[in-house]
Amino acid sequence: MSKKKLFISNLGWKHCDFKKIIKLIKKNNIKGIDIAPIQLKNNWTKIDIKLKKFAKELNKLNIKVNAIQGIFYKKNFNLFKNNNFQKKKIYAHIRIILTISKIFKCNKVIIGSSSFRDLGNLTKQEADFTFVSFFKQIKPLLAKKKIYLCFETIPKNYGESYLYKISHLVQLIKKMKSKWFKINFDTSLFHFSKFNNAIFNKNKKYIKNIQISQKNFNFLINPSIANLKFAKLINNNKIFKDISLEIISKKTDLKKISISLNKFRAIFN
């Protein structure tokens, strides 16, 4: 069994309570956090200043940042709208995200967001062409900054209309022809279908980041059978050492976060 480095997403608490969270992170030997930048402020305006201050704070506390996520939160973007002006805005926003990633000395950015890739009236073939064409433009930026863009498949049950199958995402990554495009593997894939370790095993070469989540991103109080099976699978894998826990909560529940971190550490180490 290989030793894992464990992280938790900052979507699980209010940022004003972070000092209380630090104690739980240290107590449970959690290596660091995944950051949704918008959690630090209500909008994206001049967010860099606050992020730089927070990055220095994390550095002093020896808390690492594993990945940047939630990058389109509160942004009314849809890649599949036939609007070149919006595509330019998306491109500019991703440049900002890559800069934020460098501020935190982090080399992974997660892209999920069902609304960002809502099909609307497009066919799958039309959407594939737009998706690949757009992200090919991002390749030079990723190579220059040495940052991986990790796309996440989302179950249909969460409102996803386009990227809900790993096999489809792998097809797109192959077409984009760059080592900087990878998969963020979230165990939410197993919450609405039978657990199948082949989905993970056959696509390992494309996976760069792993997130553990309960159904509806609830606290890890009683780990699902699928998450327990996945933990058994990943604990015997020496390649994947960084594992993140994703909880989404509008309020800070220290007791539930503490229990979740304890369970997280127990099943993955």
Predicted TM-score (pTM) of this structure: 0.95
pLDDT value at position 1?
53
pLDDT digits (tens, 9 = 90+) for 224-252: 999 999 999 999 888 899 999 999 999 99
pLDDT digits (tens, 9 = 90+) for 84-106: 888 999 999 999 999 999 999 99
pLDDT digits (tens, 9 = 90+) for 184-195: 999 998 988 877
Give the chain's mean pLDDT.
93
Question: What share of the chain has pLDDT > 90, as a percent?
Answer: 82
* Closest CA relative to residue 111, chosen from 175, 163, 49, 59: 163
pLDDT digits (tens, 9 = 90+) for 151-160: 999 999 999 9
d(CA 169, CA 191): 19
Q: What's the whole-number mean pLDDT along residues 246-267?
A: 96
* Closest CA relative to residue 71, chosen from 103, 106, 111, 101: 111
65: left (phi over 0), alpha (psi -120 to 50) or beta: beta
All domains in the chain, ordered by first residue: 5-268 (3.20.20.150)
d(CA 38, CA 22): 19
Q: Is the dihedral of CA 58, 59, 64, 67 positive or negative?
A: positive
Question: What share of the chain has pLDDT > 70, as a percent?
Answer: 99
